[in-house]
């Protein structure tokens, strides 16, 4: 059965299709006003620090075990193209301090109210090095006067008690969080995208990290091959059983030059195994998930936004006329509008009695 037949009846949503300044202002105002329908990162940081805190992406020069052969593979995850995921100022040819300075300048042009920043070790696997090297690079970021903490992005198979002890030590003076790419709640999907770890590995990493009192985030891709709408939605029950502080969602983006692009172009069965979520269906799926999600989990991201030059299979319903995808800040108001239409909100259908999310 083709996945398109497995989609539920399309919800009546009017996506943003234009980008005039007045429309942006309207939706941003609506977003701010109605932000009580789900927990946002900006609200979370405001509550913790009393001010807007901006994350700055850092490429600290680490590798990835799924590319350097540690997992037995040098191919990487089939969807991965790291240069598409990070902002332009995030370059390993610059020092950590230079990236922080460029990142601050970049964000000041967009969000003038930020006066404090979090160094987000984003590129590749940021616990995949010796303890001495990790400590040295984390401390380089923390030495900057405007950096108040670190968010360490990594893989679930790149963590152990030594690394968690290091993060725990740093957390005595700074905000320190760890963020795992989990991507899917299904082992067959993780194998199909060549993740090089299974779901149990991800569960153990999240649970172990939480015992150190460190806020734990997780990243998921919605619409991976072989997963139906209901498969994705049912993954929420697993998410609720993990001691997570925050979560990120991305729609599946097939990028130029990746193994997944090759599969897409050469394998009809592969193409048929993808949901091909349009923007209205994606918003409906997000809201269905968030309704089931524990009300305490902070939803840090709703969608990805790789630049046009990287998009191999662009979905026109996600795009502005200039080829750029709707930004995360533009997806938020659509989710809010759908929650208003449903008279619903995060956690409205949360029922698990075994859920363990925490918020630190």
List residues binding ligand SF4 (CB under 6 A): 64, 66-67, 76-77, 80, 82, 124-125, 155, 181
Closest CB to ligand SF4 among residues 38, 79: 79
CA-atom Rg of the chain in angstroms: 20
Closest CB to ligand SF4 among residues 125, 263: 125
- Least distance between ligand SF4 and beta carbon 123 (Å): 7
- Least distance between ligand SF4 and beta carbon 252 (Å): 13
- Quote the tokens at residue 113: 């109210």
Closest CB to ligand SF4 among residues 181, 347: 181
- Least distance between ligand SF4 and beta carbon 350 (Å): 29
Question: In angstroms, what CA-CA distances link 139 with 97, 212, 290?
Answer: 11, 19, 36
Closest CB to ligand SF4 among residues 45, 85: 85
Closest CB to ligand SF4 among residues 182, 239: 182
Closest CB to ligand SF4 among residues 77, 201: 77
Closest CB to ligand SF4 among residues 77, 199: 77
- Burial of residue 274 (number of CB atoms within 10 Å: 0-12, 13-18, 19+): buried
- Least distance between ligand SF4 and beta carbon 280 (Å): 28
C-alpha span between 328 and 11 (Å, rounded): 20
- Least distance between ligand SF4 and beta carbon 65 (Å): 7
C-alpha span between 325 and 316 (Å, rounded): 9
Closest CB to ligand SF4 among residues 82, 114: 82
DSSP state of 199: H
Give residue for tokens 């460190």: 214
Closest CB to ligand SF4 among residues 3, 57: 57
C-alpha span between 158 and 151 (Å, rounded): 15
Nearest 5°: the CA angle 99, 105, 106 is 85
Closest CB to ligand SF4 among residues 158, 274: 158
| Cα 234–chain centre separation | 19
Beta strand spans in 23-129 (E): 53-58, 116-121
- Least distance between ligand SF4 and beta carbon 74 (Å): 10
C-alpha span between 240 and 244 (Å, rounded): 8
- Least distance between ligand SF4 and beta carbon 153 (Å): 8
C-alpha span between 52 and 145 (Å, rounded): 16
- Least distance between ligand SF4 and beta carbon 321 (Å): 30
Bridge partners, 247 (sequence order): 218, 299
Question: In angstroms, what CA-CA distances link 66 with 63, 69, 72, 182, 197?
Answer: 9, 6, 7, 14, 9
- Quote the tokens at residue 344: 């619903």
C-alpha span between 140 and 131 (Å, rounded): 14
Contact between 326 and 305 under an 8 Å Cβ cutoff? The reply is: yes
Bridge partners, 53 (sequence order): 116
- Least distance between ligand SF4 and beta carbon 297 (Å): 22
- Least distance between ligand SF4 and beta carbon 90 (Å): 13
- Quote the tokens at residue 269: 């069965």
């Amino acid at each position: 059965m083709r996945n398109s037949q497995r989609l539920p009846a399309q919800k009546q949503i009017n996506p943003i299709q234009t980008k005039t300044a007045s429309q942006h202002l309207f939706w941003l105002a609506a977003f701010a006003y109605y932000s009580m329908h789900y927990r946002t990162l900006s609200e979370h940081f405001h509550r913790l620090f009393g001010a807007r805190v901006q994350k700055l992406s850092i490429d600290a020069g680490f590798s990835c075990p799924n590319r350097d052969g540690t997992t037995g593979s040098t191919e990487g995850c089939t969807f991965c193209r790291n240069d598409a995921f990070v902002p332009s100022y995030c370059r390993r040819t610059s020092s950590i301090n230079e990236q922080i300075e460029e990142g601050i300048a970049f964000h000041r042009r967009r969000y003038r109210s930020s006066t404090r920043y979090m160094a987000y070790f984003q590129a590749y696997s940021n616990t995949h090095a010796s303890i001495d090297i990790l400590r040295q690079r984390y401390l380089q970021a923390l030495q900057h006067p405007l950096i108040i903490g670190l968010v360490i992005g990594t893989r679930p198979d790149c963590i152990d008690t030594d690394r968690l002890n290091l993060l725990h030590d740093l957390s005595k003076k700074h905000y320190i969080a760890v963020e795992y790419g989990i991507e899917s709640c299904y082992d067959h999907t993780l194998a199909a995208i060549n993740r090089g770890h299974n779901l149990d590995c991800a569960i153990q990493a999240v649970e172990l990290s939480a015992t150190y009192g460190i806020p734990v985030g997780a990243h998921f891709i919605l619409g991976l091959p072989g997963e139906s709408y209901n498969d994705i939605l049912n993954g929420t029950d697993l998410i609720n059983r993990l001691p997570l502080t925050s979560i990120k969602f991305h729609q599946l983006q097939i990028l130029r030059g990746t193994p997944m692009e090759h599969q897409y172009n050469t394998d009809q069965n592969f193409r048929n195994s993808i949901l091909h979520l349009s923007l209205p269906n994606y918003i409906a799926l997000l809201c269905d998930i968030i309704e089931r999600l524990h009300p305490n989990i902070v939803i840090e991201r709703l969608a990805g936004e790789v630049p046009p030059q990287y998009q191999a299979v662009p979905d026109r319903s996600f795009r502005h006329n200039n080829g750029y995808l709707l930004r995360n800040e533009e997806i938020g108001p659509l989710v809010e509008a759908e929650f208003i239409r449903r008279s619903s909100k995060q956690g409205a259908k949360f029922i698990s009695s075994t859920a363990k999310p925490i918020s630190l």
